[in-house]
Amino acid sequence: MSDPDIYTVGWICAITTEFVAARAFLDEEHKGPKHVAHHDNNNYILGRIGEHNVVIAVLPDGDYGTASAAGVARDMLHSFPNIRIGLMVGIGGGAPSAKHDIRLGDIVVSAPRGSHGGVFQYDFGKTIQYQEFQATRFLDQPPAILRAAVSGLKAQFEADGHQIQEAIQAAFVKKPRLRQKYDQLDPSTDRLYRADIVHPPEAEVEAACLISCGSDTSLLVARPARDQDEDNPMIHYGLIASANQLMKDAVIRDKLAQEEDVLCFEMEAAGLMNHFPCLVIRGICDYSDTHKNNLWQGYAAMAAAAYTKNILNRIAPNRVEVVRKLSELLNEMDSTLTNMHTDIKSIRMDKYSDDLMQWLAPPHVSFNMNKAIEARYPGSGRRLLESEAYTTWKKGDNSFLWLHGIPGCGKTILASTVIEDLQKNQSQSALQTLLYFYFDFTDSRKQLFENTLRSLVWQIYCRNENSRQHLNSLYSSTCRGGKEQPSFDSLQRTFTEMMGNLEEVWIVLDALDECETRNKLLSWIRNIAQDSSAQVNIRLLVTSRPEQDIMTAIQRHASDEQIIAISHNLLESDIRNYVQARVREHEGLSRWRGYKEIQDQIEASLLEKANGMFRWVSCQLDALEDCLERKSLFRALQSLPKTLDETYERILASIPSAHVQHTRRILQFLTYSERPLRLDEAVDAIAVDVGKNVARGRRFDFKDRLPVPEEITRYCSSLVALVSRQGKYREEQTVKEIQLAHFSVKDYLASDRLESKIGPYLQETSARSAITEVCLAYLLELEQSKSAREIKNTFYFAHYAARYWASHAIISERNSQYAFKLMKELFLNRPRIESWCLLYDPDRSWA
């Protein structure tokens, strides 16, 4: 029997196929160990490669993942305490890209890249189902002795080529039984499907892929055959992605390949790197997509094992002896293994929460809050916070307060000031909770009271653990595990049940007048305000314009003390501070810093006519920035508009004729768009030439995009604004959107009060006809050979156009014969219809 102390190399395999391949490359096989540690259930093969004594272990049959690999490594080090070099060798899923021509049978060797040590644990603390990857753990790089061997072997192979294929064939001579399962397959079986081609879930038999998915070249990524001068298999060096779940999603694969330069995916290495420092070597057996099969596993395992033997033959035994024993790290590893099991439990909980959130789809409210806080001048709202009415509401039992004011008086800023004040003074008790929601004219999802309930329910779920059972029950039982959406009544009932787990709740709802389902909202407010039997102390504050239906509904249950008009007196000091800051500190008016009497005149003129309207003041200050000398400034101050309507009319009238067409299109989209418009979408939309007056040429050309996209606001700067919000998924970077600067702008543009020459173009039927034409013209220019993902990454407006052209067309009725002509052009061209259907599936919400 073999002495455990003579083995210095530990080689770990995940599956039997890898174990068999590793064994085939031993120069000499030894007898089993004399003894192993008491709880060691590993299966070992002992032997020699070159001058190194090697222990090869395999995970228990059916075990996968980082924790299982860590367990095998731990037991190996207990039984073989002199191991100093670690190797994780086997198969993996490739991530081919334009940068890396990875094929089946190729070899990927872990190598440090950027902030990663060769292995990238991409699911640590996150679920992978909804593309919410976020690396939160950084793993150690391979030991220096192994990295040096990789560098030396790489240089050798680059100069002389490798003999991987010859070594594999030599192994078959010694073990001929392996040839049938482990030899290289015909290149025709190496098919890389396009990322949007998904293997049917019902077609689970591996051989059925060719039948169910086909081998049509239009479905495959075109790749030239490798010529005889190229290495085959090819060896790639770089980042290996590791997780506890099998990667079977080509879209996510490509995303990580592009963003992190990942070369392949596997499921074990992340459990080893920090406390069993090792080199990870993977033979590519599939492409990490839904077309996975076992055909190439044998050869991929042989290729990885053959490369590993080359690595060991480059390392002198005396250099191994001076490397620190890995068993000295064992205590640290035991602690990490315990933490890893806790992490996996946390991952599962995170996955459930993410599934739940994706199903409930609560609108995110922090965006509105942050936007308002950024726009607020420091100290604003202090008079409200110090008022008796607010103090009484904040500290009272089952209290109610309605703040109402004219358009542009700063209601949303005040609401955010209230929320911030409550956040600062709230205790850490889970029984005390602040809930808030902003109705928002720029986002159709934030105009429905049902979505308000979704948001409030989710806020309670995140802040009070005891309340979660009610939403869990709605999800798992009532809605059959998320297969159905909750009814309005079930959402109301769940909200009431969750509130029962709280003692004190503050609720702030901003801009009731921007809610499209106002009757349900006002009925709910009345029930909350009048429910004296409730066990929960609910304090509800709402803001809105003083519109008749809202006023009538609230006056039925609220006293005069609970109804506060946002008056000129309440805002006077806030507006004064804002004007002074803009005049004396803002760059746009910096030309008057040396002229105190002119600064005083600007401030006096604006404060005299502000009448409590922040929005009016902001627009006038924007206009005054264009006054370059004293006479034009004084003329502007003497003719200030009296109302917001007059202000907006002047802005439209002053638009240069060269900008009118783009301005008109921007305002058409922002006034009637079904959802917020991303900046890149808007840039493409104004670049479209619908082609009414051109007989030939492209309707959309990339060269017509604005060189500086952010300059789109210069077409009508006081009427529109750029905002930044988080992408749909947590891993996505911040998205820039363009929107109307204020609800009063939309109110004016959609009204019959519009007198400008641009007015007729902003009537709803005319505007929606124009939007329809732009969407259709854009769709007709898409490159039809591209996948949906490629189109999205190239034609930024494509998803919006595909999703919304029909809804605009229906509302515009038969207002545009030219739109009808474009529709015919779309429907009579099969490839264009296919491109549209590729982008828009009515049964799937992606927009």
CATH number at residue 122: 3.40.50.1580
Residues pairing with 434 in the sheet: 506
Find all residues with CB under 8 Å of 751, minimum gap 6, and list them.
none
75/104 same-domain check:
yes
- Which residue in the block uniquely carries the two structure tokens 């492409």? 287
Low-confidence ranges of the chain (pLDDT < 50): 125-138, 203, 205-206, 337, 344, 347, 729-732, 844-847
Is residue 394 one of the residues assigned to a domain?
Answer: yes
pLDDT for position 608: 83
Residues 721 and 765 in one domain: yes
Q: Where are the alpha helices (DSSP H) in 322-398?
A: 330-360, 366-375, 382-385, 388-395
Find the domain containing 482 and state its range.
358-566
Kindly report the number of other CB atoms within 10 A of residue 739's CB atom.
Answer: 20
> How far is it, in rounded angstroms, from Cα 287 to Cα 255?
14
8 Å CB contact between 436 and 507? yes
Nearest to 723 by CA among 708, 711, 741, 707: 741
Task: State the burial class of residue 226 (Cβ atoms within 10 Å of its Cβ: 0-12, 13-18, 19+).
Answer: middle
The answer to the question of residue 650 being in a domain is no
| Tokens found for residue 842 | 């009515």
Strands ordered across the beta sheet of 735-740: 677-678, 735-740, 720-725
Same domain for 437 and 534? yes
Query: Does residue 847 lie within any of the structural domains?
Result: no
735 located within any domain = yes
The token duo for 600 is: 């005083």
> Distance between CA 545 and CA 742 in Å, rounded?
13
The reported pLDDT for the residue numbered 131 is: 39
Contact 670, 741 (CB under 8 A): no
Instruction: Answer yes or no: do 554 and 579 share one domain.
Output: no
591 and 488 in a common domain: no
Q: What token pair was written down for 557?
A: 């249950």
Q: Where are the beta strands (DSSP E) in 554-655?
A: 563-565
Based on the fold, state whether residues 742 and 613 are members of the same structural domain: no
CATH number for the domain harbouring residue 528: 3.40.50.300
Q: Verify cis geometry, omega within 30 degrees of 0, for the bond prior to 641.
A: no
Does 383 lie in the same domain as 297?
no
Domain end (from 593, 613, 640)? 640
Three-class SS of 142-173: CCHHHHHHHHHHHHHHHHHCCCHHHHHHHHHH
Instruction: Establish if 845 belongs to a structural domain.
Output: no
DSSP-assigned letter for residue 176: G
Rounded CA separation 521/447 (Å) = 11
Residues 626 and 558 in one domain: no
Q: Between β-strands 278-286 and 85-94, what pairing exists: parallel, antiparallel or unpaired?
A: parallel
Cα–Cα distances in angstroms (integers) from residue 48 to residues 183, 360, 650, 709, in the given order: 24, 58, 87, 63
Strand partners, 456: none
Q: Give which of 138, 136, 90, 78 is closest to 112, Cα–Cα.
A: 138
DSSP code of residue 39: T
In a domain, 345, yes or no: no
- Cis ω before 233 (30° cut-off from 0): yes
244 and 313 in a single domain? The answer is yes
**pLDDT at res. 771:** 93
Asked if residue 662 lies in contact with residue 686, where contact means CB atoms within 8 angstroms, the answer is yes
Length of the chain counted residue by residue: 847
- Can you give the pLDDT at residue 171? 96
Overall number of domains in the chain: 4
What H or E segment, with its residue span, contains residue 682?
helix 679-687
Q: Is residue 347 part of a domain?
A: no
**Digit-coded pLDDT (tens) for 200-226:** 765 454 455 766 676 677 788 888 988
- Let me know: does 632 contact 591? Beta carbons within 8 Å: no
Is 340 within a domain?
Answer: no
| Same-domain check for residues 319 and 375 | no
Statement to judge: residues 526 and 435 lie in one domain:
yes
Q: What is the pLDDT of residue 129?
A: 35
Three-class secondary structure of residue 266 per DSSP? strand
DSSP 88-102: EEEEEEE---SS---
| b/e map 669-685, b = 16+ CB within 10 Å | bbbbbeebbbbbbbbbb
Contacts with 445 (C-beta within 8 Å, 6 or more apart), sequence order: 363, 451, 675
Domain boundary among 566, 596, 617: 566
503 and 406 belong to one structural domain: yes
